[in-house]
Structure 1
Amino acid sequence: MNTISKIITWKRNLFASILVLISLMVLDFYGVYTNQFYFLKADNYIFSVLALVHLLYLYVVWFKIREDELPDPKMRNVEYVLYAILFVYGFKIYESIQVLNSVQLYQDQIIPSTFKPMATLNVVLYSILPIMTLYTFWLRKKLIGIYNFDNYNSNLNIWQ
């Protein structure tokens, strides 16, 4: 894992995570069956709201690493919410695979030529996102520290 952390640094991981999240936020409005964007469906905004929580966590990790700060309870709470969001990411992987495999059901219908590439892109991006999120958790533990709030005040040394 140490070799991986030399290749995929925390900056590269955060940048790639932001890129994947923004791409998925845009692609969540795209209908692969119709080759159109749907902005008036309320379901399309759920992932975007959850992705904002993920982006907030990435910002907090970036700030804590950059300022060399210890983890705090607010950061821990955002990370715990992100643990729950990981289940949503798992569901989105399942849903994207179901859409990709549904091409046999609609053989008699006119399916756009962009169906397979876009559906495959969705599956790949949704599959990469949990891996990058778990890697961010590992980086947080390695670079910022573990959540140890029992003796938090005794570990603070303001003279350093």
Structure 2
Amino acid sequence: MKFILKILPWKKTINVSIAVIALLIIFSFYGLYTNSFYLLKPNNYIFPLLSLTHLTFLYVLWFKIKEDELTDPQMRNIEYILYVVFAVYVFKTFESLFILTSYSEFQNHIIPASFFPLGILIFLLHVALLGLTLLAIKYRKDLVGDYKFDDMNQHIDSWE
């Protein structure tokens, strides 16, 4: 784990996460079997919309680390929503793996030559996104702090 933390410090984790999300947003409109982009399918817009939560969390994480601030309830709520989005990421990872393994079912059809290279790239991007999401949550815990809101109001004098 220390090796990963040395290779991907928090700034690089945020930058690589943004790049991976941007690539996966583009590939969410791509059809592997047909080698074309589908912009009018409503299902293709689910991943880009859900990734907005992830991008918001990355921005808040960057801001909190840069300004040396503590966690707040808004950040906690965004992270809890990110847990749900993470479940969708897991689903999309297994879906891309299923598409790659279903190649033998369509042997009688014309499959584009880009099926395996792009399919493996999309699968690896999904796996990388899972790891980067967990790493960003770890950096939030290590660098910003835990969510301790029960004790927070006891040390504030509201009359000052």
The normalised TM-score by structure 1 is 0.93
* Alignment-derived partner of residue 117 in structure 2: 117
Task: Say how many residue pairs are matched.
Answer: 157
- Structure 2 gaps, min length 5: none
CA deviation after TM superposition for structure 1 residue 156, in Å: 6.2
Cα-to-partner distance string for 1:87-130 (whole Å, 9 max, x where unaligned): 11111111101110111111111111001111111111111111
Q: Give the letter for the 2:70 counterpart.
A: L
Task: List runs of 5+ in structure 1 lacking aligned partners.
Answer: none
Aligned identity (percent) is: 48
The amino acid of 1:23's aligned partner reads L
Residue-by-residue CA offset, 1:32-63 (whole Å, 9 max, x unaligned): 11111000000000000011110000000000
Q: Which residue of 1 aligns with 2:146?
A: 146
What residue in structure 2 maps to residue 127 of structure 1? Answer: 127
SS in structure 1 of the partner of residue 70 of structure 2: coil
RMSD of aligned residue pairs (Cα, Å)? 1.4
Q: 1:110 to 1:20 in 2, by over 3 A?
A: same
Q: How far, CA to CA, are the matches of 1:32 and 1:98 in structure 2? A: 12
Paired amino acid for 1:71: T
Counterpart amino acid of residue 50 in structure 1: L
